[in-house]
Amino acid sequence: MIQESVDRVRDGSTLVDESDKTLTQIIGNIRNVADIVGEIAASRFEVRAHAQRREKRLRLLLLMPAELPAHGRQDAVRIVTVAARLKSAEQCGADHWHRHACVYGCGDGPAAFA
């Protein structure tokens, strides 16, 4: 009976050790995912800043109609319209990522993932 108890304790100890290794791997994988989400968030902010600079330049072009041919003005209007649509879609995507990031308690923006 004592030997049976010793065997059960040994088996239980082995299971605990295996569980510890598995949980350590899971935590490492979660950290990797958080790093990837952080990189995506940082990229999203870079893309947004670039799009805002480009939109600002295009709006300046729209203010100078005399210097642009008619088709250039039309192209600028189309580009600004597309930029606005992309900005709207980006915001929807940002909301999506933000909701998922909040599940992990990561907060706002790429700094939260550092």
Give the domain ranges of the chain: 16-107
User: How far is 107 from 112, CA to CA, in rounded Å?
Assistant: 6
Q: What is the pLDDT of residue 73?
A: 66
Residues 70-81, mean pLDDT to the nearest whole number? 71
Q: What is the pLDDT of residue 81?
A: 78
Residues 72-94, mean pLDDT to the nearest whole number? 71
Q: Which of 53, 57, 41, 21 is nearest to 90 (CA)?
A: 41
Residues 46-61, mean pLDDT to the nearest whole number? 80
> Cα angle vertex 106, ends 105, 107, to 5°?
95
Structure tokens at 9: 């304790």
Answer whether residue 66 shows pLDDT above 70.
no
> What is the pLDDT confidence band of residue 79, given thresholds at 50, 70 and 90?
confident
Considering the entire predicted model, what is its pTM? Answer: 0.44
Give, as one character, the DSSP assignment of residue 105. T
